[in-house]
Each structure stands twice: as C-alpha cells, then as structure tokens.
Amino acid sequence: MTTIVPEGATAAIPKPETASSRAHARLTSPWASLAAAVIAILWTVPTAGLLISSFRPEDDIKTTGWWEFFAHPHLTLSNYHAVLNGNGASGSDLSSFLINSIVITLPGVIIPIFLATMAAYAFAWTRFPGRNLLFVMIFALQIVPLQVTLIPLLKLFVHPPLNLMPIAGGDAPADGLYSLWIAHTMFGLPLAIFLLHNFMREIPGELVESARVDGAGHVQIFTRLILPLMTPAIAAFGILQFLWVWNDLLVAMVFANSDVAPLTKALADLTGERGQDWPLLSAGAFLSMIIPMAVFLSMQRFFVRGLLAGSVKG
C-alpha cells in the first residue's frame, strides 16, 4: 500500500533514536517524576526538622518532638543569639569560627581552580614530552586515600624549610591558614585537572587553530577564548570543592589550631562538650548548612551543565 502525500506537504521523517533521547524519555516519565518527588521529600524532612528545632525554645526541644511545633508553634531567636554571641561560660561563640571557615574555603577553592585551568590547558592544547604519562599519573592520584597523606604532610609543614605549623617549644608561626590552603589545594588538584581537561577537550580544535592563524599566542587563547567557554566546568568544580572544603573535618583536625579552626571543628567540639544541648547544636548545625546550600542552589544550573558536558553524544 502506497502512502499518498498531499502536494505541498512534507512527509515526517522519524528521527533516529539515540542514547540521549532514550535517557531523556526515561527521566521525564511520570514514574520517574514521582520517584524524584518522593526522594526529595524524604531527603528534606530531616533538614526541615533541624530548621524548626533551631527556632524552638529549649524546654520544647527537650520535652517534645519537632513535629509538635505545628500543634503548638513557639519560635525564638535565643538559640542563634547564644551560638553567635556566646553563652557565658559555655564558650559556644561560633561567629569567629564561621569567619574562619570562609577564610579557609575561599582560597581553598580559588587556588586549585587557578592552577588547574592552566594545567588543563597545557595537557589539552600543548605538546611536550611525557604529556600522556604525566596526565595518567595525575589522574591516578584521585585513588590515593586522603588519610595516607596526612602524616607526611604534617611532617613537611612542621619541620624546616616550611615551618607552617607550631611545634612545642619552637618558633614556628601560630597561623595555620597556609597549611590548610596548601592541603586543600593539593587534595583538589587531581580532580580539578581531570574535569577541566575533559571539558576543554570538547572545545572544537578549529576555534583554537583559527585563533593561532590570527596571531594569538597561548596567553591570548587561554584568557580570551578558553576561559569564557570553561565557565560551566569551572563552576561545577568550584561547587564541589566549596562543599568539600566547607564540610571538611578531618583536614581541619590535623592541620588547624584553635585560632583558625573552622566551623565544622567547633561543632564537633560542641557536640562533645554539650552533647545534650540540642538547642545550640541544632542552631549551629543549620548555621553551617545555610551557606553551602545557598551556594549550590544559586549555581545549580552551572553545576549540571559542567558535569554533563561531553558525557552524552549523538
């Protein structure tokens, strides 16, 4: 049987099914949307309970569950006031630790991005002996457990010539910020170089070649062509690194002294000293969550674009 197409009309040619179209169809089905909604609700309930508890009076927190708030709503800011401004002899002033976390996190994100973008460009668009071997070695550093590097780094920071951390009876500086910045940079560089290199390789080579024909050097190509196109990948790694450095406790416990301790270390100490003081713990915990939540939600679209760039073709 022959299909007659009216004059002036074009027969619809079905598009070939690709991996991306199949994935899109599965992820946009009603069942997938329902499962995502259920997971989102279950994931949000503990955070909502923590938020509500942080604003409840101490007597209500210790006698009833947070869900009782809807039956007897009582709100107070005394928990946050005690946490941010101190609570007498308890020493629960977290405002200085919050500033320490910001001072530690921002350089811990900016420095690896600054170094990784240049290293990724070198691996992607320049030729030098041993390039592939060196890139494989950097990639392999991602599987090295962080814990096995702590003692060697600690020895390196304590002894000359660095002298970045104080030792008993020594003249080493009391400021441990440099050791934290270096440690977070070293731990974040392998992943940063790997992600940025993979994204950079997806840039069409014709763009780089045309820039070279026009007389642009490596510096001009890197600053005027590559970096603007790298914004999603840089933002994706920046979010990952920000969340990791902000929520880090292990590196802070090893390298940070009491003067530069971040908020996570202060909360850990507060949990040990005042494990039954739920009002202060809930307020302090939510205070440590609000900044990374705001950063992630504000840059979520860059995060998704940067992680998925080049992962699915066709």
The DSSP string of 185-220 is HHHHHHHHHHHHHHHHHTS-HHHHHHHHHTT--HHH
CA distance 214 to 102: 43
Select the more confidently predicted residue: 251 or 301.
Answer: 251
pLDDT number for residue 172: 41
Give the pLDDT band (50/70/90) at residue 208. Answer: confident
Of the chain, the percentage scoring pLDDT greater than 90 comes to 16
Architecture of the 96-308 domain? Orthogonal Bundle (1.10)
* pLDDT greater than 70 at residue 215: yes
pTM given for the model: 0.78
* pLDDT greater than 60 at residue 277: yes
Average pLDDT in the chain:
80
Q: Which residue has the tokens 């550093």?
A: 141
* pLDDT greater than 60 at residue 211: yes
CA distance 84 to 98: 9
pLDDT number for residue 29: 75
Torsion of CA 180, 250, 307, 126, to 10 degrees: 40
Q: Which helix (H) or strand (E) holds 249?
A: none
**Mean pLDDT within 35-58:** 86
Residues 113-128, buried b or exposed e (16+ Cβ, 10 A)?
beebbebbbbbbbeee
pLDDT number for residue 92: 58
Angular region, 151: left φ>0, alpha ψ -120 to 50, beta rest: alpha
